[in-house]
A = this chain, B = another copy of it.
Amino acid sequence: MKTYLDCFPCIVKQALEASKMATDNENLQREVLNSVFKILPNFPLDVSPPEIAVNVHRIIKKISKNKDPYKKVKEEFNKKALQLYPELKLKIDTSEDRLLTAVKLAIAGNIIDFGVAGNNFDLNNTIKEVLSSNLAVNQFSRFKNDVLNNSSILYIGDNAGEIVFDKILIEEIKKYSKANVIFVVRGEPILNDVTFEDAEFVEIDKIAEIISNGYDAPATLLSNSSKELKKAFDSADLVIAKGQGNYETLSNIDKNIYFLLKVKCSILARDIGSNVGDNILKSNLV
C-alpha cells in the first residue's frame, strides 16, 4: 500500500506518542518531532507507511537513547494475554466451529496495537465484539481449505500480547493440518511489535519454529529482510500475515497470503474497501 497524504498527520502523532513512551524529557520529545519534520519531505508517496515508520522510530530510539521504548508494555500484554489463555481455549472448546473461532480470536488480538490507534483500546470488549459478529471480509472457507491442503505455513506475527492469540490459532491449525508452521518475529524492537523474546515468553517455540525478519520495521519489507525470511517466504505454500503493517507491505505481493486484521485507520479501510473497526480475513489472491 502506498503512503497517502492523510498518513502524514498520523505519522507525526505516532512519533509524538512513541517519543513520550521513550522519554519523559520534553526537550527530547521536541527534538524527535523536529527531526521527523526534517525527514518526512524526503519520502516519495509510493513507499509504504511502514518504510517511513521505521525511520521515524530509529530517530526516536537514537534521540531518547532508549532502544526498546515499549518493553514494559510488551511484557504487560504478554502476561495479560497469557492470563486470558485458559478462558480463550474454553471459548474454542465450546464453539460450533473451532477453527473459525480461533481465527476470530486471532483477529481480536490484533487490537493490542500501540502504533495505529495509540493505547486507546479495550481488549475484553474487542474479544466479545469479534466473536459475536461476522467478519466484514470473510474468506474463511477458502482459508480452511488452504490450511488443510498445504504442507508449509509461514505465520507472520504482529504485536506482543497478540501473539498469545496467534499461538491459539496455530494450535488449532495443527489439529486440522500436518503443515509445518514457521512463526516470524521482527528483527529488533519497534513499537510493541513481537520480537524473538516475546514469542519465546509465550512459548510459541513449543509449537512452531521461530525466525526473525532481521529488520526493525513494524511490517514485512521483503527487500530488507533476512535471507532466512526471504527463503521461508518463497518456499511457503501459504502465508498468514497479521495486522495492518504486514498488510501495508505485502498486499501487492503475488503470493497466497491471508491477512488477518482489525481495520484501525480510515486510509487502510479505503484501500481494503471496508470500514474502521471491521474484522478482516482476506486472501491476497483474487
Taking beta carbons and an 8 Å cutoff, which residues of A are in contact with B? Answer: 5-6, 8-10, 12-13, 16, 26, 29-30, 33-34, 37-38, 40-41, 45
Contacts and interface: CB of A to CB of B under 8 A. Distances in A.
A41 B37 contact: yes
A8 B37 CA distance: 10
Contact of A26 (B5, B9, B13): B5
Q: How many chain copies does the complex carry? A: 2
Contacts of A38: 37, 41
A270 to B, nearest CB: 15
The 7 closest A-B pairs by CB, nearest first: A9-B13, A37-B37, A34-B41, A9-B12, A12-B12, A37-B40, A5-B29
Contact of A6 (B16, B34, B40, B45): B16
A38 B36 CA distance: 10
B8 A16 contact: yes
A26 to B, nearest CB: 7
Nearest to A40: B37
25 contacts: A5-B16, A5-B26, A5-B29, A5-B30, A5-B33, A6-B16, A8-B12, A8-B16, A8-B33, A9-B9, A9-B10, A9-B12, A9-B13, A9-B16, A12-B12, A30-B45, A33-B40, A33-B41, A34-B40, A34-B41, A37-B37, A37-B38, A37-B40, A37-B41, A38-B41
Contacts of A9: 9-10, 12-13, 16
A10 B45 CA distance: 21
A179 to B, nearest CB: 43
Contacts of A10: 9
A77 to B, nearest CB: 24
Residue among A10, A29, A34, A41 with max Cβ neighbours from chain B (10 Å): A41
Contacts of A40: 33-34, 37
Contacts of A29: 5
A30 B12 CA distance: 15
A30 B37 CA distance: 13
Given A9-B12, A37-B37, 11 more contacts: A5-B16, A5-B30, A5-B33, A8-B12, A8-B16, A8-B33, A9-B9, A9-B10, A12-B12, A34-B40, A37-B40
A38 B6 CA distance: 18
A6 B16 CA distance: 7
Contacts of A30: 5, 45
A48 to B, nearest CB: 17
Nearest to A20: B5
Contacts of A33: 5, 8, 40-41
